[in-house]
Amino acid sequence: MGPSEALFIAQIVVLLLVGRLLGEAMQRLGQPAVMGQLLAGVLLGPSVFGVVWPEAQQALFPPAREQRAMLEAVSNLGILMLLLLTGMETDLKLVSNARRAAICVSAAGIALPFALGVTLGQFLPQSMLRARDEVRTPQGRNDAASFRHH
């Protein structure tokens, strides 16, 4: 069965409605609306909605590749708009005044998770790792995890 435009519209309406409701609720609690919108995404996903009512979650968000591609395209556009809006609202004077702190936080936010991931990867038991020949990306290339030497 091919992609359904009606189902796509239903997905968008549900996502917007729940995101708006939870965004408004978060604002009333003194939190940014984006917190409620992110929470809506988690609640409507397989982690919560899929556990509580799996049939409805599968009906609203079927695993069909074409259907998922339509929703992913719109979600990627939404992410792009969020980043654009965030960039437009950034106070460059504030950033330049806190330049040193911003650079330190940015570097630590990249270096620390990277170092922890590499360190953890070295201590994982072999049973948690795939064989070198099994680790492939969809394009057929070796994944970075396959370069670990034993």
**What digits encode the pLDDT tens for the residues 65-102?**
999 999 999 999 989 998 998 888 888 888 788 899 98
pLDDT tens column, 132-148 = 666 555 555 555 555 55
110-123: per-residue pLDDT in tens? 999 999 999 998 88
Task: Fill in the amino acid letter for 28.
Answer: R
Q: Phi/psi at 140 (nearest 5 deg)?
A: 90, 0
Secondary structure (3-state) at 139: coil
What is the enclosing helix (H) or strand (E) of 143? Answer: none
